C-alpha cells in the first residue's frame, strides 16, 4: 500500500455514508497507522466499520453540531466524508439541528457543491479540516482501458464519446455525473434522484443496447462527491437494458471490481474506463 501524506493526523474522523468505501477507507487507514473515529450516517455498514475503527458513533445526516461535538470530544482535527448520502433526504422529514438549518438558509443553491462547500467552511470555523476522500482509496481507481472481457463496437464507441461529453457538461452545471445514451441520443441525465434511478429511466427507453457513462466533474473537489460505481450499477443496467458501462479512468471509484468484471463478462456487457 502506498504511503500517504505525512501531514495527516494520527487520528482521523470518518463521516461514513452507505456502501463499502467507508469500510475500506477505515481498513486502509488503520493499516497505515492511523486511528479512525467513525461517525456512521447509515445503519447498513456500522458493524463492518467497528473492527477497523477505534470508535463508531451513530448520527443522523442533519445532526451537524452533534458531529462537531464528537470530533472535539475525540480531539479530531481532520475528517473525511466517504459513502453515499442521498440529498433527497432534504425533501423528506430529515431531522435537522439548528446548525444544519442555519447552513441551509445560508446556501443560495442546494446543489451538491454549494452544500458541501458551505459545510466545509462551517467546519473550518471549529478547526476541523476536511481532507481528500481518495487518500486511502487509490486502489479503487481503474486506469484507462477495457476492464471486462468485451470491447465496444463502433456504434457503442460513438455513444461512449458522446456520453462523456454530455456527462462532463452536466457535471459542470453540478446537476449530476451520469448520462444514458443510445444511437447518439441522450435518454436520461442524472439529477437529484441518483445514478440508479437515472439508469432505470434511461435504459427503459432504449432497446437493450443503452450506454451508461459516469464521470467526475470538470473541476472535481477531491474532498467530496467523487463518482462511484459498483456491482449494483451493473445489475441495474442489466435489469433495464443497459449494455455498456463507461467510467472516467483514474477518477471514478470502482467498488467490488472483481465481481463487476465477472457479472459483466457473464452477461456480455462492456465495462470500460475512458
Q: Where are the domains of the chain?
A: 11-130, 141-273
The CA distance from 179 to 213, in Å, is 5
Average pLDDT over residues 114-126: 93
Rounded mean pLDDT of 178-188? Answer: 97
* Residue whose C-alpha cell is 477518477: 251
Q: Out of 2.40.40.20, 3.40.140.80, 3.40.50.300, 3.30.2080.10, select the CATH number for domain 141-273.
A: 3.40.140.80
Instruction: Provide the percentage of residues in the chain whose pLDDT is more than 70.
Output: 95
Could you tell me the pTM of the whole model?
Answer: 0.90
Distance, in Å, from the CA atom of 22 to the CA atom of 205, rounded to the nearest integer, reads: 34
Dihedral over alpha carbons 244, 248, 254, 259 (to 10 degrees): 30
Percent of the chain with pLDDT over 90: 81
Q: How confident is the model at residue 91 (pLDDT cuts 50, 70, 90)?
A: low
SS3 sequence, 41-69?
Answer: CCCCCHHHHHHHCCEEEECCCCCHHHHHH
Sign of the CA dihedral running 172, 173, 176, 181? negative
Structure-block grid coordinates of residue 176: 449530476
Question: In which band, very low, low, confident or very high, does the pLDDT at 2 lie, cut at 50, 70 and 90?
Answer: very low
Binning pLDDT at 50, 70 and 90, where does residue 88 land? low
DSSP output for 186-228: EEEE--TT-HHHHHHHHHHHSSS-EEEEE---TT--TTS---E
Please check whether the domain covering 11-130 is classified as CATH 2.60.40.10: no
Residue 1: band (very low, low, confident or very high) from pLDDT cuts 50, 70, 90:
very low
Flag whether pLDDT at 93 surpasses 90: no
pLDDT in the model for residue 3: 46
* φ and ψ at residue 184, rounded to 5 degrees: 65, 25
Residue 192 confidence (pLDDT): 87
Stretch 183-210: mean pLDDT? 95
Amino acid at each position: 500500500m502506498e504511503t500517504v501524506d505525512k501531514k495527516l493526523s494520527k487520528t482521523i474522523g470518518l463521516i461514513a455514508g452507505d456502501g463499502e468505501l467507508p469500510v475500506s477507507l477505515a481498513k486502509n487507514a488503520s493499516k497505515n497507522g492511523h486511528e479512525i473515529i467513525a461517525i456512521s450516517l447509515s445503519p447498513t455498514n456500522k458493524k463492518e466499520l467497528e473492527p477497523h475503527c477505534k470508535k463508531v458513533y451513530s448520527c443522523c445526516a442533519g445532526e451537524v453540531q452533534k458531529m462537531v461535538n464528537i470530533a472535539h470530544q475525540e480531539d479530531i482535527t481532520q475528517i473525511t466524508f466517504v459513502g453515499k448520502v442521498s440529498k433527497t433526504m432534504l425533501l423528506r422529514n430529515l431531522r435537522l439541528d439548528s446548525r444544519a438549518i442555519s447552513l441551509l438558509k445560508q446556501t443560495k443553491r442546494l446543489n451538491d457543491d454549494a452544500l458541501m462547500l458551505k459545510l466545509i467552511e462551517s467546519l473550518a470555523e471549529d478547526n476541523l479540516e476536511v481532507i481528500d476522500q481518495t487518500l486511502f482509496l487509490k486502489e479503487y481507481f481503474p486506469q484507462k482501458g477495457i476492464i471486462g472481457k468485451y470491447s465496444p463496437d463502433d456504434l457503442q464507441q460513438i455513444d461512449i464519446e458522446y456520453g462523456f461529453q454530455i456527462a462532463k457538461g452536466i457535471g459542470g452545471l453540478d446537476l449530476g455525473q451520469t448520462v444514458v445514451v443510445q444511437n447518439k441520443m441522450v435518454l436520461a441525465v442524472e439529477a437529484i434522484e441518483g445514478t440508479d434511478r437515472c439508469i432505470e429511466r434511461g435504459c427503459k427507453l432504449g432497446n437493450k443496447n443503452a450506454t451508461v457513462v459516469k464521470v467526475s466533474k470538470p473541476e472535481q473537489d477531491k474532498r467530496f462527491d467523487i463518482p462511484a460505481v459498483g456491482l449494483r450499477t451493473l445489475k441495474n443496467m442489466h435489469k433495464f437494458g443497459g449494455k455498456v458501462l463507461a467510467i472516467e479512468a483514474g477518477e471514478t471509484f470502482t467498488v467490488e471490481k472483481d465481481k463487476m468484471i465477472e457479472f459483466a463478462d457473464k452477461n456480455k456487457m462492456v465495462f470500460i474506463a475512458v
